[in-house]
Amino acid sequence: MKKSGPFRHGKFPGVLAAGAGVLLLLPLAGIDAFLLNVLTLGFLVAVYTGSWDIVGGVAGQISLGHALFFGAATYACALLTSLAGWPFPLAAVAALLLATAAGAAVGALSAPLKGPFVALLTLALGEGAHEFFLGQTFFSPKGAYSWGGEGGIPVLLGGPSISPWTAYYAALAFLVLCTWLMLRIARSEEGLIWTAVSGSELSARASGVDVLRYKRRAFMVAAALAGAAGVGFAAFVGRATADDFSLELSFQAATFAAVGGRGTIVGPVLSALLLHSLLQGTGIPPAGRVLLYALALLLTLRFFPGGVAGTLRDRVRSRRMVAPGKGENR
């Protein structure tokens, strides 16, 4: 799976701004509440996929248990608001801290490992959390009723209910902010070091880079962003379930990132938004979605080995390099 670096051309912020403008005006076209909710979920999944691309694309640490960080945040919001009685804003902050701490722990365990061993470790941790919460029961403070298992735990926001329009625009603003932040991180000195470590750990060490420390930090940043997506998801859906840790959710992020172009940030974000909204909007059952993920991945590897965004970017670069030569021969 070919990996591509972050976008460096100034035209992409303009593309993002144009896309955000279209999404900003879309509700005015009269789409119904169902499609509005589908797009709102798509915005949150896009942020979650972008967080995977930080560690799996930019830093090159393939995580197959990324839902661990997402689920940790949703469950923290649910447990703290429903069982502990915390206000949602305070629970959201605690959820972000928990997701970041989980990222630090996973990063510490996986940093000495390479390649498939990182994938296997994260897969085991994520699926272990899924199985644990699937069989776990939580009782209300007075023991009058229980939550957990497949039914999950409610997330109590407090205050008046949020309209679909408000949720849509809040999620859109969240997506734009997080995409901008992830691009800044990928282009920063930290992001460049992650890319160097991903390309060759040996060369990075020879340059004096503390490889293990930077690999741990990549997991922490990605986990914090995944946790932020989890907090948004918990607030919108109003419930945390064991499926928030599911293998499908982890594979979904990896697949969307591969289709969009690993390491490009923009590609995975757009891929997740388009594909997730399409699959949810058409009502395809989970089993069918998994098959479509596999088909999309195979087609991408066959026709766009660097992902759609990565391959198109490389082709544009190739044409720019060839064009001056053609001009000189005339």
Residue-wise pLDDT tens digits, 262-273? 999 999 999 999
Q: Is the pLDDT of residue 157 over 50?
A: yes
Confidence of residue 2 (pLDDT cuts 50, 70, 90): very low
Q: Which residue has the tokens 């119904």?
A: 32
First-to-final CA distance of the chain: 39
Contacts (Cβ under 8 Å, ≥6 apart) of 266: 7, 12, 15, 16, 179, 183, 260, 309
**β partners of residue 303:** none
Q: Which residues contact 315 (CB under 8 A, 6 or more apart)?
A: none
pLDDT at site 11: 54
Average pLDDT over residues 14-37: 80
In this predicted structure, what is the pLDDT of residue 14? 64
In terms of pLDDT, which residue wins out, 79 or 13? 79
Give the tens place of pLDDT for each residue, 203-222: 999 999 999 999 999 999 99
pLDDT at 314: 67
| Widest CA span in the chain | 85
pLDDT at residue 321, rounded to an integer = 65
pLDDT digits (tens, 9 = 90+) for 162-171: 888 899 999 9
Q: What is the mean pLDDT of the chain?
A: 86
More confident residue, 283 or 126: 126
Query: How far is 265 from 221, CA to CA, in rounded Å?
Result: 14
Helix (H) or strand (E) holding 182: helix 164-187
At residue 256 the predicted structure's pLDDT band, cuts being 50, 70 and 90, is very high
Tokens of 65: 């248990």
179: burial class by Cβ within 10 Å (0-12, 13-18, 19+)?
A: buried
Cα 79 from chain centre:
23
Residue with tokens 């023991």: 143
Long-range contacts of 252-255 (CB under 8 A, 24+ apart): 252/45, 252/49, 252/276, 252/293, 253/48, 253/49, 253/51, 253/52, 253/56, 253/66, 253/67, 254/52, 254/56, 254/62, 254/63, 254/64, 254/66, 255/293, 255/294, 255/296, 255/297
Lowest mean pLDDT of 89-103, 142-156, 173-187, name the range: 142-156
Q: Rounded distance, CA 129 to CA 106, Å?
A: 13
Taking 80 as the threshold, does the pLDDT of residue 199 lie above it?
Answer: yes
User: Residue 295 class from Cβ within 10 Å (0-12 exposed, 13-18 middle, 19+ buried)?
Assistant: exposed
pLDDT over 50 (residue 6): no
What mean pLDDT do residues 196-203 have? 92
Could you tell me which residues are beta bridge partners of residue 147? Answer: 138
Task: Identify the residue with better confidence: 229 or 83.
Answer: 229
- Please list the residues that pair with 137 across neighbouring strands: 148
What is the reported pLDDT for 18? 75
User: pLDDT at residue 9 above 60?
Assistant: no
In the prediction, which pLDDT does 7 show? 44
153-154 and 239-240 strand pairing: antiparallel
Residues 115-130: pLDDT tens digits? 899 999 999 999 999 9
Between residues 85 and 287, the one the model is more confident about: 85
Angle, vertex CA 192, rays to CA 189 and CA 193, nearest 5: 90
Q: How confident is the model at residue 5 (pLDDT cuts 50, 70, 90)?
A: very low
Assign residue 266 a region (left: φ > 0; alpha: ψ between -120 and 50; beta: otherwise).
alpha
Q: 291 vs 107, 185, 279, 284, 294, CA distance in Å? A: 30, 33, 11, 11, 5
Side-chain-facing half-sphere of 148: CA atoms under 13 Å: 15
User: Global pTM?
Assistant: 0.87
